[in-house]
Structure 1
Amino acid sequence: MARGPLYQGKYKPQFSGHETFPLRYGWLKKVFDRVAETEQDPRNRTACWGDDAIARFGVGKNMVASMRHWAKAARIIEEPEPNSVRTKKFGRLLFAPKGLDPFMEYPTTLWLIHWQLAAYADKTTWFWAFSHYPAITFDRDGLIKRLTQLAKDHAWSRVANTTIKNDIACFIRTYVARQPSGKTGHDDALESPLTELGLIKAVGKKDGFRFVRGPKSTLGDGAFTYALMDFWSRYARNASTLSFEAVMYAPGSPGRVFQFEENDVADRLAILDEVTGGALQWSETAGLKQVVRNIELNEQNALSWIPHDYDAVPRKGVA
């Protein structure tokens, strides 16, 4: 029987908020900058999302709502109180004026954003598709039927078929570029930066797709280490060891979210000692395959590995 956050009694699903718009280039930086400009005001929510936001961001009202949704889902910002909006540590690390990648020029940044969207159960379709869907290939109608049935099985309230259908359409457009046509220009076809990850490909028949499993050459060791620690802190925070099976197969794990094969995860874990200077170590003692930690599990320690990926890796398109 499947386990994980989606199958807990108090779980509240989310199939909306994006207003049917997938994440677009530049949105996270624009939202981060606006929130950073106003967060000295403890009641800055109106300043961020009020009527002037339409003119400031140069988009319609629904798109402003979508930008806000994606920035929160990517953990760039948060709304800790009803009237306040704040930047988060993860957002500041990437998008501050002296951040690692304010303009999303490095592939590692895209992997990190994908992790925030798919490793947490907040976005139901994203989490379920990467962590629970049992096959490599799928079609749009099949996803709709499975998620609709899941909602019925768990008696999730206020989940309409149309809402799930729109969410799945947005999910697919987040990862699969639309082919340019007479009605769709090249810019629209590449509207989501996460299409560059190649995690999902269109195949064969219309509305047929497949998850692309295997090694991810543009995923840096720093980002993988961050993801591993972030997952560990939620999966078994007090445990000093974490099994290979959990890293590979548990809902929300690096193996699931990054669509690795077993050998890919094994290769990553084998060099943890070198990558982290012994903070995390791979052990196969007494037939037990597990990661041993010699570091506290907290957000700051997890984030500390991310900068390593930006020291030697060129920006996208830069030799």
Structure 2
Amino acid sequence: MRRGILHEKDFKPQFSGHETFPLRYGWLKKVFDAVYELEKWGKKEETRELFLSEAAISKFGVGKNMVASMRHWATAAGIIVEDDDKHIVTTDLAKLLLSDDGLDPWLENPSSVWLMHWQIAAKSPKASYIWLFSHYNNSQFDRTTLVSLLIELCSEREEWRGVAEATLKRDVECLVRTYVNKPSKSESFTEDQIESPLAELNLIQSLNKNDTFQLRRGDHPSIGIGLFLFTLIDFWKRYSDEARTLSLESMTYEPCSPGRVLCLDEDAVAERLYEIEKFSSNVLTWSETAGLRQVIANKPLKKIKELDFLKLDYKNTNRRKAA
């Protein structure tokens, strides 16, 4: 049986909208500030035209296509959403993270970047990203192979069959640029090679002069316990929201699970669970009884707020304020 968000009946894939631009530094904060300012001043109606008017070009300081890309990425990352009346509003997650007195307005903490990756590769309509991290079972790939496999995926769903190959090629190229540093023109590494904050995660490694790539599965020490617990509860609620137990196997191998999306192997996932009682204030318990390795929720999932776990990674963090 096909599992995961890609195979949900109401899932609507998105292979365009980025205008070929990867997520750039500062974009999410700029979009959040622009929308949140209108919200604070009761100008909700103006959010409908915020990214469409000519004034948007001067407001954001970029061209028309890049303005559209900024909106695209902010939506994919769960920073803004469109409500039923077509107003653009900021999310609770965005307010917690990106407001001027938020946890990390400038995404300086690694957990913030991991969080954006999670939002995009586990929860957004960006099908290419979800497919690569949650359904592709090999470690290496190239652009041509990935496009071919996405064409095959689209052919399986009648409502997806209209997606052009050229669109998929542009989407795959944008994906690569989002997660892989640009090739160096010299032997030494420079910051100019980093085009997107998601490239800092080193989830995809370039091989053979940028023609072949490898997913780096294993352990990633920069993943904080707060971020991990956030993804665990977030996945659990979508995977089986009534269940009070979740197996190590499910949280490692199921599509859109922490193990798949964060590229963690089973040992790396298990290692983060050994002290889960302490970090969750006994809300969660790790059990290895009778050969079953699983997490037990000590209260209903709907009463567990994953955003509270996220805050664990930002304690005693000095946050740089906007000038």
TM-score clears 0.5? yes
Give the TM-score of the pair, scaled to structure 1. Answer: 0.93
Contact 1:249 1:255 in 2 (8 A): yes
Q: 1:226 aligns with which of 227, 230, 234?
A: 230
The answer as to 2:54 corresponding to 1:51 is yes
Partner of 1:269: 273
Q: Is the 8 A contact 2:232 2:257 kept in 1?
A: yes
Q: Secondary structure at the match of 2:45?
A: coil
Stretches of structure 2 that go unaligned for 5 or more consecutive residues are none
- Asked if the contact 1:175–1:192 (Cα under 8 Å) also holds between the matched residues in 2, the reply is yes
- What's the CA shift for 1:270? 1.5
How far does the alpha carbon of each residue in 1:50-94 deviate from its partner, in whole angstroms, 9 at most, with x for none?
Answer: 221110100001100000011111001111134311110110111
Q: Residues 30-41 of structure 1 correspond to what in structure 2 (within 5 A)? A: 30-39=30-39, 40-41=42-43
Alpha-carbon distance, 1:158 to partner: 2.5
Deviation of 1:311 (Å): 1.4
The aligned residue for residue 99 of structure 1 is 102
Structure 2 counterpart of 1:42: 44
Identity of aligned residues (%): 46
1:147 paired residue among 146, 150, 154:
150
Are positions 1:242 and 2:219 aligned together?
Answer: no
Q: Which residue of 1 aligns with 2:88?
A: 85
**Structure-2 separation of matches of 1:172 and 1:295:** 41
1:108-119 correspondence runs (5 A) = 108-119=111-122
After superposition, the C-alpha distances for 1:227-261 in whole angstroms (9 at most, x for unaligned) are 00000110001111111111001100000001011
Distance 2:18 2:247 in 1: 36
Paired residue for 1:207?
A: 211
Matched, 1:170 2:174: yes
Structure 2 CA distance for partners of 1:10 and 1:287, relative to 1, 3 Å: same
SS at match of 1:166: helix
Cα RMSD (Å): 2.1
Q: Deviations over 1:201-245 (max 9, x none)?
A: 001254100011111111100010000000011000111111111
Indicate if the aligned counterparts of 1:3 and 1:251 stay in contact, CA closer than 8 A.
Answer: yes
Q: Does 1:192 align with 2:196?
A: yes
1:128 aligns with 2:131: yes
Q: Show the counterpart of 1:8.
A: 8
Identify if the C-alpha distance between structure 1 residues 313 and 34 changes in structure 2 by more than 3 Å, giving closer, same or farther.
closer
Partner residue in 2 for 1:283 = 287
Structure 1: where are the runs of 5+ without partners?
none
